[in-house]
Each structure stands twice: as C-alpha cells, then as structure tokens.
Amino acid sequence: MQRFSALSLLKRGLSGQRGWTPQWRRPEPKTGYDAIIVGGGGHGLGAAYYLAREHGLTNIAVVEKGWIGGGNTGRNTTIIRSNYLFDESAALYDHALKMWENLSQELNYNVMFSPRGVMMLAHTVHDEQVSKRHVHANRANGVDNEWLTAKQAKEFCPPLTIDNIRYPVTGAALQRRGGTARHDAVAWGYARAADALGVDILENCEVTGIRRDANGAVAALETTRGVIESRKIGVSAAGNTSVVMKMAGVQLPLESYPLQALVSEPIKPIFPCVVMSNTIHAYISQSDKGELVIGAGTDAYNSYTQRGGLHISSHALEAICELFPAFRRLRMLRNWGGIVDVTPDRSPIVAKTPVPGLYVNCGWGTGGFKATPGSAHVFAHTMARDEPHPINAPFTIERFADGNLIDEAAAAAVAH
Amino acid sequence: MLLIACPYCGERPELEFAHGGQAHIARPAKPSAVDTQEWTRFLYMRDNTKGLYAERWRHSHGCGKFFNAVRDTTTDHFIVTYKVGERP
C-alpha cells in the first residue's frame, strides 16, 4: 500500500499526480476463504478490515454485486451522531462516534470527519419534553448533548429562522461531537486498508445462492463469479438482506423502503452545522463541495426501486424553505433513493443466526452510516469469536421473540 | 406518485391511500394456543420480497375500505388489485 503523507502528496503534486497505483487489487475469486462478507458497503468493508487487523483472519473476501460503496454508503446524507435514547443504542452509536474521531489516522485515508455539531430542533412543547429527556439520558450515558434556547440555536446556525414561521423554533438539542464525513472515502479507505492486509475485494460478484452442509451449516456461496467455499459468512447487505438471507432459509423482521436525499447546486459556505427537525421533517447540512445535502423521508410502501416518490422529496424541500427562506431560489441538482432495511423497533440486528456459520448485520434502517466503524468493529468480533461483542449483544434476532426490544422508533432524528 | 386502482372507486393518486403491509397474514385463531415462535412470526416476520408482493392498502381518504394488491417491488408496477376475501 502506498501510504499517504504530506511529503508523498507534495511529491506527486509536483510530478503531475503520476505514479499513483490502484488503491486496491482486483483479484479473481479463490476457491475458498476462511470468511466471506456479503456486501461491499462501509459496514461490510469495515468488518473485513477489523477481521484482518484485530482477529488475524486475512484469508477473507468481500463480495459485492455492484461496485463498492455504490449502495447506501454512497447514497446517505453523511450525518454522524450518537444521541440515542436507550443505553444499548447509546453504547453502540457512541462506540462508533469515538472510532470516527480517529478513523482517518487509523486508515491513513482522509474520511473528512467533521464534528461540526448536530442540532435537532424543537417546535412544540412535546418536542421540548422529548428533546430534554434525550439530553438527560445521553448525559447520564456519557454522551454529550445540550439544550439550547431558540436564540442560542440561531446563534449557532445563523441561516435558521426561529420565528414568524408556521412552526416557530422553541429550542434545540445540540450534540457538538456530531457532524459529517465524506461517505465515499469511508468505503474507499476501508477497502484500501483491508486490501493491504490481504483481503480480496470481489466487485461485480452477486450472490445467487447459499450452500449448506448436512448439518445445516453454511458451506459455500454461489455467485455470478462461481462457487466460493467458506464456513463463515457474514451478510451485510442493507436493503437486500432479506433477499440474501432467504437463500439460507432465514426470514428476518425486515422491510425495505426507498429513502431519498437531494443536493442543491453548490454555493459558498453558508451552513455551519447539521440541522434536523423531526416535527416538520427536514434535515440539512452543507458538503465541502458547497452543495446543500438534504434528507427526505421514506415511501409509505416497501420497494427495491432506489427512487422514491416525488411528493416525498417535495415535502422535505417545503420544510427546508420554511426554515431557511434564503434557500428558496436554489435549484436542486440531483435526487436519488437508497433501499433501507427497517426493523419493527428501528434498531439494528448485529448477530448470529439460527444457521451455524451465518452472521447478519442489518436493520440499520434510515441511519446506518453514522454507525459504520462501530458496527463493522463489533460485527467482526461476532464473526471471529462466534459470539457477540458486549456492545452488540442486545441486538439479536431473538429479541423479537423474547420481547427485549430496543424501541428507538421515537428517537429517530426524523419520523420515517 | 403511484396511481392505485381501488377496487371500489377506481384509479386514485397514492396520497389517498395508506399502506397496510404484507397481505394474507392470518392472525392465529387462538393466540393463547400458539407458541412464542409462531406468535413472533405473525407479529414481526415479513417476506419483504424483491419481485411480486401481495400487500394490503386502505383507501383512507376515499371509501375507507381495505383491499389487496399485487405489486412488483422492483418496479412499483401494480399487477392487480382485488377485494378482501378474493384471490388474485
């Protein structure tokens, strides 16, 4: 692996950026691996990296049906925060947030993590009560979160309108350690670092079947690039998890929905933080390129179309224009959809499955990007040790039978 | 926005409807008689099919009636809509 440093960047810069080598190999699949991850998004590539680095499993592969980071890793609004209500969630998401803080150094790849603050607005008495409950619960768990008055919110984010609108802002909860990162760089950084440790990244390799032995344990993957044997398979396939798991005869409590996002034409730096509003349903930040990145909602029905209805994104834009009248004349450059896999309690499943050797990391719903490093880290632990890390131990499939739900539905930044 | 053919009212825009999830999941006749696994399947487990999917809709801003539909979840194209109790 060519390491990046100020010196190497300067040297290549002065020699016309020539001499860079590909960031990862494009190997042919071997006949078998010690472990295989299905899904080349941030969560899957990260899990491969931690399997290799922390657990010494280097004869492993990531199979991806398209190109790496082409799914939800490249389609989300890049927001990172850990201000979740329940203890289990706070532990999981804050584990991730702490890893974000050092990820660029860890991977020797600039993921552009920018802890610029995530501010969640309150517009009603009910909002205030819920937000303050979150602030207190977070602080009790060692997760930073603070309550701002409307005036303080306006000072923190000057473009924000707090009064003379239909739903005046009455206050806000601010997590200063939250922020954004460059989503593509997360996939590329993990891919490059995993590749350097010997992990084979197999793109354009779609799983078409999962073979099991006489005892029911996983034995091999059937793919569009041939049969690949492995006794340890981790599925990290986001919206397509139900499809892949069905090949092993496992049904999960998941439904897949299109979730949309939009970006505006690029403008000068105007927006200093991330702002989210549950009540009027909008969230927004500004990318380093200058585009405003805006999140919309999910469609009402499950689908795999990666599109979403126009009225869903229009609704989000109406809310943005109400909160930020200065943006009314901006044009939107692109909108798109990603397929998110949603569980009934809106918390993920990172666990073993009833099939020996088969593991699943799914159900991240509308907010998986923020968890990428933490999720990948505990999933690698679960696969390597055949038992969960204490942090993901509560996030089982069995919780839907035994009733130990982690009901974060009301704690999502916006209601989906 | 989708156009959905209510079997009672005809084609109407999606906004008039509420989605009701996977169709033809029967509530166990005697809940006290089923075990935890079966009850979990009824409550939470869904096929989430990529392809033809039978689902419930309610024409909530129209006639208010529930009906069923078969939709291709890879294209959102409706194959057929039909009344409760009928089979496509």
Taking the CA of residue A176 and the nearest CA in chain B, the distance in Å comes to 36
Q: In the structure, what pLDDT confidence band is assigned to residue A259 with cuts at 50, 70 and 90? A: very high
pLDDT band at A1 (very low <50, low <70, confident <90, very high): confident
The predicted pLDDT at position A413 comes to: 55
Is A242 in contact with B36 (Cβ distance < 8 A)? no
d(CA A115, CA A98): 11
H or E, element range at A383: helix A372-385
Contacts of A300 in chain B (CB under 8 A): 14, 17-19
B86 C-beta neighbours (distance < 10 Å), count: 11
Cβ proximity of A52 and A60 under 8 Å: yes
Asked if the Cβ–Cβ distance from A304 to B50 is below 8 Å, we say: yes
Question: pLDDT band for position A415 (50/70/90)?
Answer: low
Mean pLDDT on A22-28:
96
pTM assigned to the model:
0.96
Three-state secondary structure call for residue A411 = helix
- Among chain B residues, CA nearest to A313: B1
> Residue written as tokens 């190999």?
A25
Note whether B46 contacts A400, CB cutoff 8 Å: no
pLDDT in tens, A118-131: 999 999 999 999 99
Residue B2 forms contact with A (CB below 8 Å)? yes
| A171/chain B closest Cα distance in angstroms | 32
Question: Which pLDDT value is given to residue A412?
Answer: 56
Span A60-96, pLDDT tens digits = 999 999 999 999 999 999 999 999 999 999 999 999 9
Please report which confidence band the pLDDT of residue B9 belongs to, taking 50, 70 and 90 as the band edges.
very high
Q: Which of A336, A241, A346, A259 is nearest to A291 (CA)?
A: A336
Question: Mutate which of B19, B48, B61, B76 to test chain A, going by most A C-beta atoms within 10 A?
Answer: B48
- List residues bridging with B57 in a β-sheet: B19, B67
Min distance B51 CA to chain A CA atoms (Å): 9
B20: closest CA of chain A, how far (Å): 8
Q: Do A304 and B73 touch (CB under 8 A)?
A: yes
Residue A416 — pLDDT band, cuts 50, 70, 90?
Answer: low
Say yes or no for a CB contact (<8 Å) between A302 and B47.
no
**A255: nearest Cα among B9, B22, B84:** B22
The burial of B25, by beta-carbon neighbours within 10 Å (0-12 exposed, 13-18 middle, 19 or more buried), is given as middle
Helix (H, G, I), strand (E, B) or coil at B65: coil
C-alpha A378/C-alpha A399 separation (Å) is: 18
Residue A312 is predicted with a pLDDT of 95
Q: Which residues of A touch B50 (CB under 8 A)?
A: 240, 242-243, 256, 304
Task: Answer whether residue A410 shows pLDDT above 60.
Answer: no
pLDDT band for position B70 (cuts 50, 70, 90): very high
* In chain B, beta strands by DSSP E: 3-6, 10-13, 18-22, 52-58, 66-72, 77-83
Q: What is the mean pLDDT of residues A30-44?
A: 98
Show which of residues 41-70 on chain B sit within 8 Å of chain A, judged by CB atoms. 41, 43-50, 53, 55
pLDDT at A88: 97
Check residues A316 and B1 and name the one with the higher pLDDT: A316
- Give B81→chain A minimum CA distance, Å: 15
CB contact under 8 A, B18 and A300: yes
- State how far the alpha carbon of A376 is from the alpha carbons of A225, A382, A392, in Å: 25, 10, 11
Q: Could you say which of A305, A310, A344 has the minimum Cβ distance to residue B74?
A: A305
Distance CA A219, CA A253 (A): 25
Which residues share a beta bridge with B77?
B72
Q: CA torsion, points A22, A23, A28, A31, in degrees to nearest 10? A: 160
**CA max distance for chain A:** 69
Structure-block tokens of residue A292: 């405003």
pLDDT in tens, A39-53: 999 999 999 999 999
- Asked if B54 contacts B68 with a C-beta cutoff of 8 angstroms, the reply is yes
A238 vs B contacts (CB less than 8 Å): none
Contacts of A207 in chain B (CB under 8 A): none
In tens, the pLDDT along B29-62 reads: 999 999 999 999 999 999 999 999 999 999 999 9
**Chain A positions in Cβ-Cβ contact with residue B36 (cut-off 8 Å):** 401-402
Which of A254, A300, A402 shows the shortest C-beta gap to B46?
A254
The confidence band for B1, taking pLDDT boundaries of 50, 70 and 90, is: confident
Q: Are strands A218-223 and A207-212 parallel, antiparallel or unpaired?
A: antiparallel
Instruction: Provide DSSP, A212-223.
Output: E-TTS-EEEEEE
- A-contacting residues in B 8-47 (Cβ below 8 Å): 14-15, 17-19, 21, 36-37, 40-41, 43-47
Q: Which chain A residues are Cβ-neighbours of B76 within 8 angstroms?
A: 301, 303, 305, 307
A240 to chain B: nearest residue by CA? B50
- Whether A254 and B48 lie within 8 Å, measured CB to CB: yes
Measured between CA atoms, the residue of chain B closest to residue A401 is: B40
- Tell me the average pLDDT of chain A: 96
Which residue from B18, B45, B48 is facing A302, i.e. has the nearest CB? Answer: B48
- For A348-367, what is each residue's pLDDT tens digit? 999 999 999 999 999 999 99
Phi, psi of A182 (to 5 degrees): -85, 110
CB contact under 8 A, A305 and B1: no
Strand A358-362 vs strand A233-235: parallel, antiparallel, or unpaired? parallel
Q: Give the mean pLDDT of A223-231.
A: 98
Alpha-carbon gap, residue A247 to A235, rounded angstroms = 11
Query: Binning pLDDT at 50, 70 and 90, where does residue A2 land?
Result: confident
Confidence of residue B88 (pLDDT cuts 50, 70, 90): confident
What one-letter code names the amino acid at B47?
D
Contact A305 B14 (CB under 8 A): no
CA distances from A25 to A77, A110, A236, A273, A390 (A): 29, 20, 21, 37, 34
Chain A residues with CB under 8 Å of B56 CB are none
Under 8 Å CB pairs connecting chains A and B tally to 65
Instruction: Please judge whether A309 and B53 are an interchain contact, meaning their C-beta atoms are less than 8 angstroms apart.
Output: no
- Which SS3 state, helix, strand or coil, does residue A30 take? coil
